[in-house]
Structures are given as structure tokens and as C-alpha cells.
Amino acid sequence: SAVAEAGARGRLLLWPRVVLFGDSITELSFQENGWGASLAERLVRKCDVVNRGLSGYNTRWAKLILPRLITNSASAESTVAVTIFFGANDSALKDLNPKQHVPVDEYAANLKSMIQYLKSVDITEDRIILITPPPLHESAWEKECLAKGDKLNRCNATTGEYAQACVQVARDCGTDVLDLWTLMQKNQDFSSYLSDGLHLSAKGNSFLAAQLWSHMEKKLSALPSLCPYWRDVDHTNPEASLL
């Protein structure tokens, strides 16, 4: 068939990919006006933006899953950027949320081990962006907890210690870092960035999208657009343009 013939002559078109790896704040990022969707929109025809957000996960679990998501051989596409965005669950208070809590030293060690793993499959540190957890708005999150019959199980000062540890890991390992915890609190009232005290609101999503793009733009905006612009296709001989 003509299609098979075209396939035989043309090389498989592979889109480079950006992998978003994180917890629920990443999993939800493809919702309407989400930060992941916004990134995908900016990179359309240049990159596939792949959502690997796992709601409720901490770095202890993430470290085990990462080698099953990104391997040397699984995708011939080059991975041009990876975001690692954990800490909102790790920083849960041990006494009140032992299932998700990970001590801050182990959190830092887990982030380092994920960076080492990515480097072992040829994703260099300049392609890795760590994102700190956002600040926690305690009164709003407490309402969510109480509605489930729980006590307030996180606190902003503790989340800040994890954010600091994340920034330090990035310094030690030479990766990029987006310190969301600090940036969102520069404007004193950060509550409008959060929908429930923990997860991002529409405003928080657009804030993160803008901050992340300023980190990624220099890496990714130079990537070529895949497939010729339609006006540049030779309509009398499309094979010459497209294969």
C-alpha cells in the first residue's frame, strides 16, 4: 500500500520528550489551565510532554518507580528535560501521617539517588529541574483534614525545611531548581495560589507555568518544529517535502 511504502521510505518521526515526575500536583497538571498542559501547549510540535504524576507518592516510593518509567532503551526519543517535584507528601507530620512521611535527610538522599539514576541512563544534570513543594496554607488545609475526620497533618515551616533540602540537593548535584516554596511567599499572601491549602489553584498553576518556562525556555525553545509548515509543503510533490 502507499502508506506502507511511505513508511518504508520515510524515517520514523520521533518527538523529543519532557517528563513531568511528581505527586498529585503533577498528576493534576493536565487539568484545564494546569501547568503541565500549559507547558505542552508551548511545546506543541516540538516535544511530547509526558505526565508521570502519582498522587499521594513520596520520594521513597518514587525512587523505586523511576527506573520503570525511564530506561535506556524504552524510548528512542531523547528525553530533553525531566522535572522532579516531590516533598508535599514527604513533609507530612510523622505522628499524624506516618504512611506518607519521609524524614528530611532521607528525602534529600532519595532526590540525589533519582538524579544519579537519570545520569546513569544518560539524562545529564543540565536536563533535570527539581521543584520544591509549594508553601502550605495551614488553615485551609486544616479544613480539608477535619472534613475527613483527621487533624492538621502538615505544617508550612516543616514543608519549608524540605524545600530548603531540595534546593541544597540541586546545588550539590548541579541541577536546576525552582524554589516554589520561597517564590510563592514573596507575595505575603500566598493563599490564592492554592485551591485547598496544599494543591495549586488556577492562579498557582499559571504562576508555576510561568516560572518553569523561564527555566526551560533557553533549553527548549530552540528545538525545531517537527514537520514542515504547511505553506512550505510542495503540493505538486508532497513526498519531496514530507519523506
pLDDT in tens, 109-141: 999 999 999 999 999 999 999 999 999 988 787
pLDDT in tens, 1-15: 665 555 555 678 888
Name every residue whose Cβ is closer than 8 Å to that of residue 212 and which is 6 or more positions away in sequence: 35, 39, 83, 129, 131, 178
Q: Is 15-214 assigned to CATH 3.40.50.1110?
A: yes
As given in the structure block, the three cell numbers for residue 116 are 544519579
CA dihedral (66, 115, 55, 48) in degrees, to 10, reads -80
pLDDT above 90: residue 187? no
Determine if residue 58 is left, alpha or beta; phi over 0 gives left, psi from -120 to 50 gives alpha, anything else beta.
beta
Nearest-angstrom CA–CA distance, 115 and 128: 8
DSSP 8-state secondary structure symbol assigned to residue 119: H
Is pLDDT larger for residue 209 or for residue 155?
209
β-sheet bridge partners, residue 200? 194
Catalytic residue positions, numbered: 24, 196, 199
169 close to 215: Cβ distance less than 8 angstroms: no
